[in-house]
Structure 1
């Protein structure tokens, strides 16, 4: 497969997964902003969280000045000038899909094209008429539909493998960033041994729901969500689909199945990272410091993405 084709497939799926993940982030921040706040009480700090995670807060302040709930939500969701807005993620995903129209199925193309056309309609109407929660659910549904069309219709060739690579590298990075953001927002409260405050409960519950892992947590653990248990679920459990470990298991298997010798650096790194997680206990993570541990793994995932790019996506 040509490296340009592989890159278009890879980034198509990354942008779609990014749109879904950011919709999850936006939904949980909006929901938590409606709760009574311990600070100034307006929920703006919570609404600014997606901007902080994506590194776009400075750009927002440059464009719009002071923090404003309606403008922040629009900037993160529909602002064309914001390169990481949900609007631009779907636009870029559709653009990449169009470039490889001959390598994906008609079901996949029709789904992503319809999603883009509907997004343009939502942008014209504005979030006020559509509703924040309804909009976030729509983004997640469109991502689920595309993923279902991909799994159900495309041949299991290299095209399928590069689509899945993009999905899991993006998902791994986002799970780490979401967990780190919630942990940092709780601050010292998340370090308490009992970790039983109402604020901690709602923060961790919201994170688990955002990552579709609340039911898994309830099935595996007893009691309320606490820092160590939530971290173990989202970092080290291979049976939780959006966990870091589950993503690295998939990445390692996909990379091992790709032909040729060029991918050895990426294959080796993915195997090393997966093996490291397999033999890591949550007590080691907590002792190291959750924020510091996550920061290290965000760098590892970035290195793996770079290795995939240099091995497969750059023209020889």
Structure 2
């Protein structure tokens, strides 16, 4: 496979996953703002923008942090080149560029998803319609992923698609967990209160993990148990451990196809061992925020190593 085709597939699925996770984070911010009331709305929306890395560009365009302005900026604003509609459009451009490497079902899912969101986001989304719009983003990304699972051969294209998906998912899961633990809680005096519990519940909901977590933990809601679930439980498909196990599997499949491993495989193995070799007690002793920041940086290094090893720019 040509490097530019591998690059197109890898980034096509990263953009699809990023669009979905951005919608999930917006939904979590919206729920948290409603939970805490109008006085705390500014900090909740500010934390969403901080997590997405959009705070500085947003402040260049707006002086307030209303839900309507933040949602419009993140979903469709031309002042934000990383808006959700642009992500889906980039996924579509990559799908069209790599049209011969994907199936008709995958192309149709991505193309129709982009057209649906283009029409839906042609105008600013009212707060009353925000939930519907965010559900549509999640649905269109899920349809494209489902078409991939159901129609594509397990070959290089599939392995690059999966690697891109789970590298992006790991990054977003780490950011969502970090924003709660480090940015959202206003004071240590709130730990264990109804506010603290509601925020952790919203984090789980943003990752579609609240039902699985409650089933495993009999409704216990505390930071250590939730962090262990989101970071280390390899049964949960949005955990860091699951994401890296899936990445390891697909990079291993690519190495077998090419007949050798490269620097990306070695780095992947090293990062994976640093993740799965830890207990939640060791992570909290280190500091959850510090652990997550290091993970995000290492995850970025893995992405760079994959691009270099498979000559994405060639």
For 2:313 and 2:127, the matched residues in 1 are separated by 45
Change (3 A) 1:260 1:315: farther
Using structure 2 for the length normalisation, give the TM-score: 0.94
Q: After superposition, where does 1:92-241 map in structure 2 within 5 Å?
A: 92-128=90-126, 131-184=129-182, 185-186=184-185, 188-189=187-188, 195-241=191-237
For 1:203 and 1:314, the matched residues in 2 are separated by 40
Change (3 A) 1:94 1:263: farther
Would the aligned equivalents of 1:189 and 1:200 in 2 still touch at CA under 8 Å? no
> CA offset at residue 83 of structure 1?
1.7
For 2:80 and 2:131, the matched residues in 1 are separated by 21
Structure 1 position 272 matched with structure 2 position 267? no
Would the aligned equivalents of 1:33 and 1:42 in 2 still touch at CA under 8 Å? yes
> CA offset at residue 80 of structure 1?
2.4
For 1:129 and 1:304, the matched residues in 2 are separated by 38
For 2:300 and 2:260, the matched residues in 1 are separated by 19
Aligned counterpart, 1:10: 10
Would the aligned equivalents of 1:171 and 1:247 in 2 still touch at CA under 8 Å? yes
For 1:238 and 1:69, the matched residues in 2 are separated by 34
Of the structure 1 ranges 290-299 and 117-126, higher mean CA displacement relative to structure 2 is found in 117-126
For 1:149 and 1:231, the matched residues in 2 are separated by 32
For 1:65 and 1:181, the matched residues in 2 are separated by 22
- What's the Cα RMSD here? 1.8
Cα-to-partner distance string for 1:31-76 (whole Å, 9 max, x where unaligned): 1111234xx7151221222211122111111123333332211001
Change (3 A) 1:308 1:55: same
**Paired residues, what number?**
311
The correspondence for 2:65, drawn from 47, 64, 67, is 67
Using structure 1 for the length normalisation, give the TM-score: 0.93
Structure 1 position 33 matched with structure 2 position 33? yes
For 1:79 and 1:267, the matched residues in 2 are separated by 38
- Provide structure 2 residue ranges, at least 5 long, that are not aligned to the other structure: none
Change (3 A) 1:187 1:303: farther
> CA offset at residue 196 of structure 1?
2.0
For 2:187 and 2:62, the matched residues in 1 are separated by 32
For 1:196 and 1:224, the matched residues in 2 are separated by 11
Cα-to-partner distance string for 1:132-182 (whole Å, 9 max, x where unaligned): 111111111111111110000011110011111110000000100000001
* Over 4 Å off, 4+ runs: none
